[in-house]
Chain A
Amino acid sequence: MRSHLLSACIPLTIVPVSAIAATFPIAVSTSTNIAFGTLDPGVSGGQFRVRPDGSSAPLGGSTVTSLGPLAVQPGQISLAGSTGVAIDLSIATATVVLNGNAGGAMNVNDFNIRTNAGGLAETITLTSTTDTFPVGATLTVSAGQTPGAYTGTFTLNASYQ
């Protein structure tokens, strides 16, 4: 009887180890800039898009022409974290302003992470502790845009789900 009572009154809570995963700190940055190259606004200006798949083109009605010699390329986001865990990766603002070294400004928007229709946010599960993902965007150039070199930055956020 005593033995029976003892065995019946030992509550034991065990959290399955398989449901617990160690998470390493996340790190996110860009290893390659989004580069729109050298552009001529043309008669009326317009939009010029760089896609994550590496293609680029002026959008409908745009008179913007890509001339070189600067490269046109999507950016590359470097993401580090735990494998097998969903990570929310996003760009903080939908529109970024580029400022010219000789004056003038241009807007960049329509960001796409990883795929051409990826949008501002993607959920990514890493298969290795560090991986890179392309990011594209669209630049708006005005007619008579001031010539010069334009630069700007955007903020990346990453967090475990």
Chain B
Amino acid sequence: MTTSTKRNFTKGALTLGSAVVTLTGVAALQQAEAVTATGTGNIQAEIINLPTVAESVVMDFGTFSPGTVPSTAQITPSTGAVTVTVGDASDFGTPSQGVMTITNAPVGVPLTYSATATAPLNDGGVNTMAVSAFVLEDRTDSNAAATLTAPGVITVDVGADLAIGVGQVVGSYTGTYTMNVNY
């Protein structure tokens, strides 16, 4: 707050006595202060392509003759060969591992894979066979994981175990499985 006083002493004014007192506020002194400001804000986003997974070869356990005890047939991912690991079922035919391809995977991001059966194999009726213990191996390092160093396609071999019951009903069994790619 400032006070300025103005006195004019003229002959007449002296007689009358004239004084002007003006009180002004702080705001008048603040006009020189900054009353505007400018700042910068930042925005960020990351774009990646969602990997796509497609089946290129159907997993095929071949043909079996059920044994006298419950049996398990196992597909080796890298070779596609079938081995009866439990029981005494007999295998025939031309088996194959499943082959899945992953495209559009982001470069430099670690990926892991997994697979689960959507439902037991079914003969179109009421008879089923369970598939479990999926094993996934990509062809780069035989692991269920990879990190691309450059854009490309990842090929993954898939094996699994098939349960064959005693007296398994004769027929052609089909089913599906789901492969997940996590990153």
Residues of chain A whose beta carbon lies under 8 Å from any beta carbon of chain B: 2, 5-6, 9-17, 19-30, 33-42, 65, 67, 70, 75, 77, 81, 91, 96, 98, 100, 104, 106, 108, 135, 137, 139, 141, 145-160
Report chain A residues within 8 Å CB of B19: 10-12
Q: Is the pair A70, B46 in contact by a Cβ cutoff of 8 Å?
A: yes
User: Which stretch of B36-44, B119-127, B167-175 is in the interface?
Assistant: B36-44
Report chain B residues within 8 Å CB of A81: 37
Report chain B residues within 8 Å CB of A148: 46-47
**What are 27 A-B interface contacts by the 8 Å CB criterion?**
A5-B17, A9-B16, A9-B17, A9-B18, A11-B20, A11-B21, A12-B20, A21-B26, A23-B35, A24-B33, A26-B35, A29-B39, A38-B46, A40-B48, A40-B49, A40-B50, A67-B48, A98-B43, A106-B45, A137-B43, A147-B48, A147-B49, A149-B44, A150-B45, A150-B46, A151-B44, A158-B38
A102 to chain B, nearest CB (A): 9
4 more A-B residue pairs beyond the given contacts A106-B47, A147-B106, with a C-beta to C-beta distance below 8 A: A33-B42, A100-B47, A157-B38, A158-B36
Q: A9-B16, A15-B23 are in contact. Are A36 and B39 (CB under 8 A)?
A: no
B98 to chain A, nearest CB (A): 26
Q: Is the pair A67, B50 in contact by a Cβ cutoff of 8 Å?
A: yes
Closest A residue to B35 using CB positions = A160
